[in-house]
Structures are given as structure tokens and as C-alpha cells.
Structure 1
Amino acid sequence: MEKVNRTLVTEFVFLRFSSSPHLQVLFFSLFLLVYLLSLVGNALIVLLVALDGRLHTPMYFFICNLSLVELWYTIVTLPKMLANILSAQGVISVPSCITQYYFFFSLAATELFILTTMAFDRYAAIFHPLHYPLLFSPQTCATRAGICWFVGFLCPMFHSFLLAQISFCTPNQINHFCDADHIFHLSCIDTYVIQAVGYAFSTASILGALAFTMASYAQILATILAMALAAAQRKAFSTCTAHHLLWYPHLHVCPPGSKI
């Protein structure tokens, strides 16, 4: 149903953190520091993995990909936020806002899929050690990472396309970056179907990846606990054997109170 008495808009206005100029400067300094630390830290990880041959392993390869995702995260959101803090009235055009939304959630999906792949990497290393060099060869790792990036950027594409077809009305104020919930609240039409499709797809992707990751780590944990139990049993048996040698032929069982 169309919403009446509202004016169509072509840009959104970001709400300010505070009306105090001093607090705005404080927020700017804080976010600038976070931005620079994130850029430098993740760039150093990528550079270190690239230059150190000892780190050319599947685990560090995927960590490098995670650092690239984090780099892109900060570039997508924080520069615009920093500019808006210093400006009298921070604005962003509707297409730019939808683009920011698309990249932000694409990167979130990519990060999720990379973490899932890392869980499978640890699973394969423990349960299929003989096949591990083949399952996670350099070429295979590059292919898996490419699939994570491709699927991650594919996931929100349809949802973002539907979002781009919506007309937006006043009031056109949103919080500090382009989040889907804020954007939908400013639409001139009922967006229930679009939201339902987006949330259903996002929930299926997140729960599927999370279930696979948790199942992998659950089996790894169970194996580690079984190994620890087996080590404890071996220690108990060796202790008992020592007691046998010490007490034989007087006793043929572990004496009471023998410690494991």
C-alpha cells in the first residue's frame, strides 16, 4: 500500500553522534584511530604472509583472505563515516547507500564462508591427513577462496537489486551507515515481501555455514578429548605395569591407592 503525504528523496541524511562539536571531534579522532589501526594491522598480516615462505600454508592463506575482507570492510564504511562526522550535514545518495549496503553484506557473507572453509581445513588435516595435501594444495586453496568470494558477493545481489527498485520518502534520516533495516523503514511502499526474501536467504546461508562449522569443530573436539582419554589410559596402564614389576610376585593387580 502506498504511503501518503511523504516526499520522494534522492539522498539520505546521516544522524550525528552528538550535537556537541567537541564530542564530534572526539568521535572523529577515535574512529580515525580505529580505521588506521585496522588498515595497518591487516595490511601487515597480508604482507607478512606474502613475504614469509614459512607461512605459505592453507591456514595462513585463509587468514590472509580474512585480513583482506577486514581491509575492505573498513574502506567501505569508515571513510564515509569520518567525512560525515566533520561535515555540517552528512548525506549519501540513494544509489551510493545501496552500494554500501551491498558491499558490506557481501563481505560479511564472504567472511562467513572463509571461516567455514577454515573449519573444513582443520577437519581434513585431522581426519584425512593422507589426502590433506591434495584437498588443500595451493591451487585448491586458491579455488576455494575464489568460490568463497564469488558466492559471498552473489548472495546479496538479488536483494540489493530489489532494494534499488524501491522509492524512498521523507523522513530520510538513517544511522551511521547504510543498514537494511534503516533503509526499508524509509521506503514509500510496503517492503514486507522483499524483507522476507532477504531475511530467509540470509538466515539459510548463515545457519548452513554455522552448522557445518560447528559440526566440524565438534568432531575435532571429540577426537582431541578421545586422544586425551587414551593418553590418560596409557599413563594409568604404565603406572599399573610399574607396580606389577615392583610388587610381583606378591601381588598381581595394582595396589590400592595407585595414582593415575
Structure 2
Amino acid sequence: MGRNNKTRVTEFLLVGLSGQPEQEEILFGLFMWMYLVTIIGNFLIILAISCDSHLHTPMYFFLANLSCVDICFSSVTIPKMLVNHMLGSESISCVECMIQIYFVTTFANMDGFLLSVMAYDRYVAIYSPLHYSMIMRPKLCVFLVAISWIITNLHALLHTLLMVQLTFCSNVVHHFFCDPYPILKLSCTDTLINDLMVFTVGGLIFLTPFTCIIVSYAYIFSNVLKLPSAHGIRKALSTCGSHLTVVSLFYGALLGVYMHPSSSYSVQDTVATVIFTVVTPLVNPFIYSLRNRDIKGALRKLIIRVQN
């Protein structure tokens, strides 16, 4: 379809990351492997936490929720790409595309909110350990997760409804899923309102959890530096290392993609999108399990239980 042809688009064509059939074959195998590992890894984390009563604490409650969100995040984008490749098709209907945009926005933001809640949990555990159980009550934990779901769904609904109002001149998407920015670049109509909402509402949704993480760790580090021994400092920081690694990976990629106008979306942004939509959900369970003795112990118990 030409850029000036305003015929109503009924479907989009997801041409993938390379557009070259040989490279797409390699990417298909790679993405299938990554998706299977993501599902299995995150599912094992959820199962280990559920089956071990010692892990029924706020920190692991939030981690189980993060693993659940990561499973959903990957499942919104990768399976459609795999099915299209197997069927020899590139098409996705407009309705499916808008659904993808809605859920990608929801789960991406939910990851950020959960990471901020986990940072607050670590702050309370280190800054006020004697009052930890009193502050991080089960009702508060459930409330923090529930309000995060409400905010992220409302935000996703706003952007999806604005996207539905646009008229598209082209239907060729140079991506493996309906990423909002590449879709906006196909619009014949003015996307000023969409970009404005990304910078205002989207910026607020981005900055709120990010600020919470920064403030929480500022207090954590200021408190840790007051500890009298190096052993105490290492012990305190060991509980935060995995979380900081995930935060850096997720927010580094997210900041590189969505904090600029949609018209300047580039190949580098596509790579960053793959990092936070595919790579981050994949590595999260490994980061948390390899650096956490409690999770490793729970996984060992789970494996022994299955073998018996």
C-alpha cells in the first residue's frame, strides 16, 4: 500500500526482524528455544515458591508475580510470530494487533511496577528489619499488586483507544509483533496526541516506579554504609544484587525505546525492544535462582519431590 493510499487497513504484515528468509529461519529457532526456556524457567520459580512454605514471604510473593507477568509478556508476542512462520504467513489482523499493543503495554508496565514494589520491600527489610513483618503485611502486598494491575490496564487502554482512532497508509511492520512505535510510523493521520500521551501519561507511568526504585536504593545504600563490618555490608547487598541486575537490564532497554518521538524509531530501538520483551523474561529466573540460596534450595526440593 502506498503512503498516500488511505484505504482502510484490515491487517498488518509482520515482516520480522531481518526481512531475509534465511535469517528468519535462524531467528525462528532461536525465538522458539528462548520462549520454551522462558516458560519453563519462570514456571519453575512459581512452582518452587508455591510448594515451599519457607518462601511464603512478601519478597517471594512479588517474585512469583513477576515470573507470572514474564510468562504472559512473552506469550503475547512470540507464539504469534512462531505460528506465522510455520504457516508461511506474515499477517495479523487489526484486532489482533490492537490486542497485542494492549497487553504488551500492560505487561511491560507491570514489570516496572513490580520491580519498584520489590525495591520498596528490600528497603523495608534493610532499613527497618524489626518492623518488617508488621509493615509488609499480606493485605498490603496484595493491595500493591492489585493497584499496579489497575493502573497498568488503564494506561494500556488509553493508548490502545488512541491507536484505534488512527488511519494507516501502510500495513508493513518491520518487527515480529505489533510494537506501538513502528505501528505509529505507518499512520497517515497526525500522531501528535499519541506522542503527547506517551511523554505525559506514559512518562508518568515510567517515572513513578523508576523513582521509587531510585529512592529506595538511595536509602538502602545510605543505611548499608553505616554498618560496622564488611560482612554486614556484603550480606545486606546480596539481597539486592539480583534485583538491581534485572532493573538495569529492563529499564536500560525500556528507556532506549520509548523515551523519544515515534518518528525517530530505528534499528537500534528494535534491538532494545527484543531485549526487554524477550531477553529480560528469559534471564529473570536465572538471575534470581543462581544468586539466591533459598530459591536454589526450593528448586532442589521440588526436583527431589518429582523424582520420588
| Separation (CA, whole Å) in 1 of partners of 2:157 and 2:175 | 23
Displacement of 1:119: 1.1
Corresponding residue of 2:79 = 79
Contact 1:69 1:107 in 2 (8 A): yes
| Separation (CA, whole Å) in 2 of partners of 1:99 and 1:171 | 16
Corresponding residue of 1:149 = 149
The code of the aligned residue for 1:214 comes to I
| Higher helix fraction (1 or 2) | 2
| Separation (CA, whole Å) in 1 of partners of 2:149 and 2:46 | 17
Displacement of 1:85: 2.5
The percent of aligned pairs where both chains have the same amino acid is 37
Contact 1:73 1:107 in 2 (8 A): yes
Corresponding residue of 1:111 = 111
- Distance change (3 Å), C-alpha of 1:16 and 1:146: closer
The code of the aligned residue for 1:90 comes to E
The code of the aligned residue for 2:68 comes to L
Pick which of 13-22 and 168-177 moved more: 13-22
| Separation (CA, whole Å) in 1 of partners of 2:198 and 2:153 | 14
The answer to whether residue 56 in structure 2 is matched with residue 31 in structure 1 is no
Pick which of 13-22 and 176-185 moved more: 13-22
Contact 1:113 1:209 in 2 (8 A): yes
Displacement of 1:70: 0.5
- TM-score between both structures, scaled by the size of structure 2: 0.69
Segments of 4+ moved more than 4 angstroms = 17-22, 229-232
Corresponding residue of 2:212 = 212
- Distance change (3 Å), C-alpha of 1:48 and 1:192: same
Contact 2:16 2:174 in 1 (8 A): no
| Separation (CA, whole Å) in 1 of partners of 2:4 and 2:23 | 38
Give secondary structure in 2 for the equivalent of 1:12. strand
The code of the aligned residue for 2:116 comes to T
| Separation (CA, whole Å) in 2 of partners of 1:16 and 1:31 | 12
The code of the aligned residue for 1:106 comes to T
- Distance change (3 Å), C-alpha of 1:181 and 1:222: same
Corresponding residue of 2:179 = 179
Please list, as runs of the form range in 1=range in 2, the aligned pairs for 1:1-260 lying within 5 A after superposition. 4-18=4-18, 21-228=21-228
Corresponding residue of 1:239 = none
Give secondary structure in 1 for the equivalent of 2:227. helix
| Separation (CA, whole Å) in 1 of partners of 2:18 and 2:164 | 30
Displacement of 1:134: 2.4
Cα-to-partner distance string for 1:44-69 (whole Å, 9 max, x where unaligned): 00011000001111111111011001
| Separation (CA, whole Å) in 2 of partners of 1:49 and 1:38 | 17
Which structure is richer in relative contact order (CA contacts within 8 A, separation 6 or more)? 2
- TM-score between both structures, scaled by the size of structure 1: 0.81
The code of the aligned residue for 1:185 comes to K
Pick which of 33-42 and 201-210 moved more: 201-210
| Separation (CA, whole Å) in 2 of partners of 1:148 and 1:19 | 37
Displacement of 1:181: 1.2
Displacement of 1:230: 9.8
Contact 2:42 2:70 in 1 (8 A): yes
| Separation (CA, whole Å) in 2 of partners of 1:206 and 1:158 | 15
Q: Tell me, which stretches of 5 or more residues in structure 1 are unaligned?
A: 233-260
Contact 1:59 1:118 in 2 (8 A): yes
Q: In terms of Rg, which structure is larger? A: 1
| Separation (CA, whole Å) in 1 of partners of 2:109 and 2:116 | 11
Give secondary structure in 2 for the equivalent of 1:211. helix
- Distance change (3 Å), C-alpha of 1:18 and 1:172: closer
Cα-to-partner distance string for 1:47-104 (whole Å, 9 max, x where unaligned): 1100000111111111101100100011101001112223333111112111101101
Give secondary structure in 1 for the equivalent of 2:13. strand
